[in-house]
A and B are shown apart, each in its own frame.
Chain A
Amino acid sequence: MSTGVVNPGAGRPFHRIAVVGIGNVLLGDDGFGPLAVEMFRRLYQCDSNVEILDLGTPGLDLAPYLYDTDLVVIADAIYPHKEEKPGTLCVYCEDDLGSSHAQLRLTSHDPGVQESLTQLRLAGHAPSEVIVVGVVPESCGLGKGISLSVLNTCLVAVDTIARLLVERSIDCRRRHAPVQRTLWWLSSSA
């Protein structure tokens, strides 16, 4: 399966790569982004120039984490322009964000992705490529946990992130055995 995202900088080396998850882990499927990057960390081993970050809901505080990166892969809950079933995986390039193809989660905590990118571009420190790996949420209620539809897509999303990196000649290999990470917010609830 192709990721469908054309690599505009083909052949050009990426020096600093960030794989970031956005969303609130306490609010159901809004926690898709953080879950996806933690699962990616468990299952894949990358070059040391790949930073894997659970950024929560940073708003405009996002900019410092993208500052001077070359490639950014953002995992996030999204609402596409046409209605899609919960759990649908959607991959977008940066140009799609400004158009009607995708709308990033602009509700209870707008991640400010576009604002941050515009500021970084004006300041001359923006990434050259931005890819969003999004999943359509089912429910973002307090303390609800991740729904089954989003959880099922999560593994596909993780493999997609890996493929996007490999397509760009970034060293990213599946681990022989997953590393143990505590996904504390999914552990026994009260």
Chain B
Amino acid sequence: MARISIDPVTRIEGHLRIDVEVDGGKVQKAWASCTMWRGLETILRGRDAREGWVFAQRFCGVCTTVHAIASVRAVEDALQLEIPANAQYIRNLILIAHALHDHIIHFYQLSSLDWVDIATIPKADPARAASIAEGYSNWPGNSRRELEAVQSKVKGMVDSGQLGIFSHGYWGHPAMRLSPELNLILFAHYLQALEFQRKACQIVGVLGGKTPHIQNLAVGGVMNAINLNSLATFNMDRLGMLQSLLQELIPFVQQAYFVDACLLSGSYPEWFRYGRGVANYLAVPDLPTDAKATQFDLPGGLIMKGNLASVQPIQNWRDQAFRSAVAEDVTHAWYKGEGAQTPWKGETDPNYTDFQADKKYTWVKAPRYNGQPIQVGPLANVLVGYASGHPLTRKWTDTAFKTISSVHDSGAPGFNLTPEDLQSTMGRYLARAIRSAMLSDLALQHWQLLTDNILKGDDTTFNPPQFPSHECEGVGMHEAPRGSLSHWVIIDKGSFTNYQAVVPTTWNASPRDAKGVPGPYETSLIANPVVDPEKPLEVLRTVHSFDPCMACACHTLDVSGREIARVKVL
């Protein structure tokens, strides 16, 4: 039995440590520990509820927008304040652009090098690579010339021995199996992805006034002034600029990213068998299409025990079942208090004890839904949509399955996937690409909704909030890139008296609860293969599939706890 402790230094926000016990080449037990305190909510107490979002968007350096949105939605929910249709569409477009940016970064910059061995790229035949890539998509970045240029850059880097940030990859690991040609195609898109991240940022900037840290939000709507006759405001020029940026971004998502995720899926079919984990899924409805938020373009729902037929819809943000089902358990987290509490009554009172696998071992609370652990994220989003018969989800999921069945790189022709197979490590990568393709269709639809509404003569963007003299409580929901996010607020005379954020990573990185039931990361690692305990690449594949956005420094320990190897992982 080997005990491996992966204690990553995250590249983005929040620290995660993963401990696994490995026997016979497979993980037997796992613990997820967040090693950074997330007590930022405490500084919101006593603040003016209209300004909470400005602080909330600094919770995390990457998910700025999502916390800002959840915060204003929470206050609007508490006040039962409706916002104008224009405000819904402008917010939706910001959320879509942010999510596309985030998903592209996750696939290429944060996780593709778990699967793509760049050290083989010098051996690739660029002509053959171009013909493979052109067989799946008409993305212009797949030309032989483009691929030759990328290959020569990589050769230069390898020959000079200056792999730089890539020098710590698991190159040559037996679990790396793509042909040099596929490695070249995916790495070419890795570099091209930077241009499209920029375009996604520009979209957020055009709408939000500034990026990162949008400026245009307000409790009650948005502060974008709409006047088609004024140069200084949101006008037809601005709408035109937005449309062209979307039209430049979407082909990369649908013809490069989506296709690459299918190529990866078809080349590593065994990864649809690992990493299932907690098979209870939650997605909250998002992208409202009307002012009152009664209709949504992304359906919400709950699936228990992996049974897609059992899907229970969450129709809207006022869903009472959701409000009473969510509770956070601190039995194994470094906080004072016992058992589970609704977030409205949640405390964030630290009680650090050091890592004690049987007792307290993380800063993450254990959120539970009617007492059950829950997995959130693009996979939950896609499964709920598919199970509810949502046409857009079905369209892109079926397209993905069809594309994957034609990938022969694995030597496994006729590889046919079903939605059940998505409940896996690779399924989480694929679901994120499916969701991105869906979002890019929806981006143009919401641009059209906004344009039509403005042309109809509606220029309202803001309904002023009025705070009652009594205490009120609210929940703000958002189906964020990493999954369901909810901000829970209690407001008294216009100021917060409590503020709790139940973030996607809290659901997924949850520790064990009072009953000893582990969370999604922990469960998903059981039976995960580990060929070489000194290079636990396979563990990282499953952890990264949840998009925790991190680089890891892996410390491999033998049974006595002595450090025998250290591998920095990208």
With A54-B213, A119-B109, A185-B58 already in contact, the answer to whether A26 and B11 are too (CB < 8 A) is no
* A125 within 8 Å of B (CB atoms): yes
Min CB–CB distance B467 → chain A (angstroms): 17
Those of B57-83 within 8 Å (CB) of chain A: 58, 60-62, 64
B457 within 8 A of A: no
CA distance A184 to B40 in the complex (A): 16
A26 touches B9 (CB 8 A): no
Query: Among residues 35 to 58 in chain A, which have CB atoms less than 8 Å away from a CB atom of chain B?
Result: 54-58
In the complex, chain A residues 94-109 whose Cβ is within 8 Å of any chain B Cβ: 106-109
B487 within 8 A of A: no
B43 and A26 contacting across the interface, CB-CB below 8 Å: yes
Q: Does A1 contact B (CB under 8 A)?
A: no
Which of chain B's residues 23-50 have a Cβ closer than 8 Å to chain A?
36, 39-40, 42-47
- CB-CB under 8 A from B44, the residues of chain A are 190
- Among candidates A60, A122, A190, residue contacting B11 with C-beta atoms closer than 8 Å: A60
With known contacts A24-B58, A59-B13, A64–B194 Cβ distance under 8 A: yes
Chain B nearest Cβ from A171, distance in angstroms: 23
**Contact yes or no, A109 B47, CB < 8 A:** no
| Minimal beta-carbon separation of A144 from chain B (angstroms) | 11
A56→B45 CA distance, assembly (Å): 22
For the complex, is A84 an interface residue (Cβ under 8 Å from B)? no
B194 contacts across to A, CB distance below 8 A = 63-64, 67, 119-120, 123, 125
> Quick one: given A108-B36, A119-B194, are A58 and B11 in contact (CB under 8 Å)?
no
A186 surroundings in chain B (CB, below 8 A): none
Contact B212 A56 (CB under 8 A): yes
Surface stretch bound by A, among B84-92, B195-203, B312-320, B385-393: B195-203
- Residue numbers in B under 8 Å from A167 (CB-CB): none
A67 and B153: CB pair below 8 A? no
| 8 Å CB interface, B206-249 against A | 212-213
Query: Which of A9-17, A85-93, A110-118 sits within the interface?
Result: A110-118
Partner of B58, one of A26, A64, A108, A189: A26
Q: Does B157 contact A (CB under 8 A)?
A: yes
Q: Does A64 lie within 8 Å of B197, measured CB to CB?
A: yes
Specify the chain A residue showing the minimal Cβ separation from B64. Answer: A56
Q: Please give, as numbers and ranges, the residues of chain A lying within 8 Å of B58 by CB-CB distance.
A: 24-26, 56, 185
Name the residue on A nearest B45 (C-beta).
A190
Complex: how many Å from CA A122 to CA B121?
14
A68–B197 alpha-carbon span in the complex (Å): 13
How big is chain A's contact interface, by range?
35 or more
- Asked if B201 and A123 sit within 8 Å, CB to CB, the answer is no
User: Using Cβ atoms and an 8 Å threshold, which residues of chain B touch A156?
Assistant: none
Partner of B40, one of A67, A115, A142: A142
Contact at B10–A110, with CB atoms within 8 Å? yes
**Bound complex: CA of A120 vs CA of B105, how far in Å?**
14
Please name all residues of chain B whose beta carbon is closer than 8 Å to the beta carbon of A190 when the two chains form the complex.
43-47
Query: Could you tell me the distance between the alpha carbons of A118 and B165 in the complex, rounded to whole angstroms?
Result: 7
| 8 Å CB interface, A107-151 against B | 107-110, 112, 114-115, 118-120, 122-123, 125, 142-143
Question: Distance in Å from the Cβ of B411 to the closest Cβ of chain A?
Answer: 31
User: Quick one: CB contact mask for B161-179 with A, threshold 8 Å, 1 for yes?
Assistant: 0001110000000000000
- Are B43 and A109 in touch, CB under 8 angstroms? no
Q: Are B212 and A26 in contact (CB under 8 A)?
A: no
Q: Which residues of B contact A110 (CB under 8 A)?
A: 9-12, 551
* Chain A neighbourhood of B62, CB < 8 A: 57-59, 61
Interface check B55, CB cutoff 8 A: yes
Q: Is the CB of B61 within 8 A of A24?
A: yes
Main secondary structure of the interface of A (DSSP, over half): loop
> Taking the nearest CB of chain A, how far is it from the CB of B98, in angstroms?
10
Inter-subunit contact A60/B212 (CB<8 Å): no
Write the nearest CB–CB distance from A9 to chain B, whole angstroms: 22
Q: How far apart are the CA atoms of A119 and B443 in the complex, in Å?
A: 28
B200: chain A residues within 8 A (beta carbon): 64
Task: State the CA gap A118–B163 with chains docked (Å).
Answer: 10
Q: Which residues of B contact A106 (CB under 8 A)?
A: 9
- B283 beta carbon closer than 8 Å to chain A: no
- A108→B15 contact, CB < 8 A: yes
- B51 neighbours in A (Cβ, 8 Å): 184
A110 to B552, CA, bound (A): 12
**A115 surroundings in chain B (CB, below 8 A):** 11, 165
Q: In this assembly, does B509 line the interface, its C-beta being within 8 Å of a C-beta of chain A?
A: no
Q: Which of B61, B109, B551 contacts A56 (CB 8 A)?
A: B61
Contact B213 A56 (CB under 8 A): yes
The minimal Cβ–Cβ distance linking B94 to chain A, given in whole angstroms, is 15
Q: Which residues of A contact B549 (CB under 8 A)?
A: 59
Bound-state Cα–Cα, A185 to B191, Å: 36
| Most interface-central of B11, B46, B51, B190 (chain A CB within 10 A) | B11
In contact, B109 and A60 (Cβ under 8 angstroms)? yes
Partner of B105, one of A60, A118, A125: A60
Name the residue on A nearest B196 (C-beta): A64
A123 and B146 CA atoms in complex are apart in Å by 11
Q: Complex formed: what's the CA distance from A115 to B169 in Å?
A: 13
Residues of B whose CB lies within 8 Å of any CB of A are: 9-13, 15, 36, 39-40, 42-47, 51, 54-55, 58, 60-62, 64, 101, 105, 109-110, 153, 157, 164-166, 190-192, 194-195, 197-198, 200-201, 212-213, 549, 551
Closest 9 CB pairs of A and B: A57-B61, A190-B46, A59-B12, A64-B198, A123-B191, A64-B197, A64-B201, A67-B198, A118-B165
Sampled A-B contacts (25; CB under 8 Å)? A26-B43, A26-B58, A54-B213, A56-B61, A57-B13, A57-B60, A58-B61, A59-B11, A59-B549, A60-B12, A61-B61, A61-B62, A61-B101, A61-B105, A61-B212, A63-B109, A64-B197, A109-B12, A110-B11, A114-B164, A120-B194, A123-B195, A125-B194, A184-B54, A190-B45
Given A56-B213, A67-B198, 14 more pairs with CB closer than 8 A: A57-B60, A57-B61, A58-B212, A59-B12, A60-B11, A64-B197, A67-B194, A110-B9, A110-B10, A112-B12, A119-B191, A184-B54, A185-B55, A190-B45
